[in-house]
A = this chain, B = another copy of it.
Amino acid sequence: MASNHPENLAVRVIGAPEGLPELKDFEVTVEPMPVPGEGEVLFRGIYMSLDPAMRRKMPYPVLAPGPLGATAKIGDLMIAGQVPPGRGYSGGMVGEVVESRHPDFKPGDLIHGGCYWQTYQVLHGRHLDKLPKGEAPLIAELGVLGQPGFVAYAGMELIGQVKPGETLVVSAAGGAIGMLAGQMGKIAGAKVVGVASGEKVDYVVRELGFDACIDRHKEPIGEALDRLCPEGIDVYFDNVGGEVQRAAFDRLRDFGRLVVCGMAGEYNAAESDHGPPLRPVLRKQLKIQGYVIYSYYDMYPEFRRRVLGWLKEGKVKYREQIVDGMANAPQGLIDLLSGANKGKMIVKLGPEPGEA
Where the two chains meet, the residues of A that have a C-beta atom closer than 8 Å to any C-beta of B are: 58, 60, 241, 245, 255, 260-263, 266, 271-279, 281-292, 295
- Chain B residues within an 8 Å CB radius of A60: 283
Is B283 within 8 A of A291, CB to CB?
A: no
- Chain B residues within an 8 Å CB radius of A266: 279
- Chain B residues within an 8 Å CB radius of A262: 282
Complex: how many Å from CA A282 to CA B277? Answer: 17
Complex: how many Å from CA A263 to CA B273? Answer: 20
Top 8 A-B pairs, shortest CB-CB distance: A282-B290, A281-B290, A274-B274, A275-B278, A288-B288, A287-B289, A275-B277, A260-B282
A20 to chain B, nearest CB (A): 19
Q: Would you list 12 pairs from A and B whose C-beta atoms are within 8 A, ordered by A residue?
A: A245-B278, A260-B281, A260-B282, A263-B282, A271-B279, A274-B274, A274-B275, A275-B275, A276-B278, A282-B292, A284-B290, A285-B289
Residue of B nearest to A276 (CB): B275
Is B277 within 8 A of A274, CB to CB?
A: yes
Please judge, given known A-B contacts A287-B289, A290-B283, whether A278 and B295 are in contact too, CB under 8 Å. Answer: no
A164 to chain B, nearest CB (A): 20
Residue of B nearest to A255 (CB): B295
A234 to chain B, nearest CB (A): 15
Complex: how many Å from CA A284 to CA B292? Answer: 8
Complex: how many Å from CA A292 to CA B263? Answer: 29
Residue of B nearest to A257 (CB): B289
Is A274 within 8 A of B276, CB to CB?
A: yes
Residue of B nearest to A266 (CB): B279
Is A277 within 8 A of B285, CB to CB?
A: no
Residue of B nearest to A262 (CB): B282
- Chain B residues within an 8 Å CB radius of A282: 260-263, 290-292
Complex: how many Å from CA A285 to CA B58? Answer: 14
Residue of B nearest to A286 (CB): B290
Complex: how many Å from CA A260 to CA B282? Answer: 6
Is A263 within 8 A of B279, CB to CB?
A: yes
- Chain B residues within an 8 Å CB radius of A241: 278-279
A312 to chain B, nearest CB (A): 32
A170 to chain B, nearest CB (A): 16
Residue of B nearest to A284 (CB): B290
A298 to chain B, nearest CB (A): 15
Residue of B nearest to A277 (CB): B275
Residue of B nearest to A287 (CB): B289
Is A290 within 8 A of B295, CB to CB?
A: no
- Chain B residues within an 8 Å CB radius of A261: 282
- Chain B residues within an 8 Å CB radius of A285: 289-292, 295
Complex: how many Å from CA A60 to CA B284? Answer: 11
Other 12 A-B pairs with CB < 8 A, given A272-B277, A287-B290: A241-B278, A260-B281, A262-B282, A271-B279, A275-B276, A278-B290, A281-B288, A281-B289, A282-B290, A283-B290, A286-B289, A287-B288
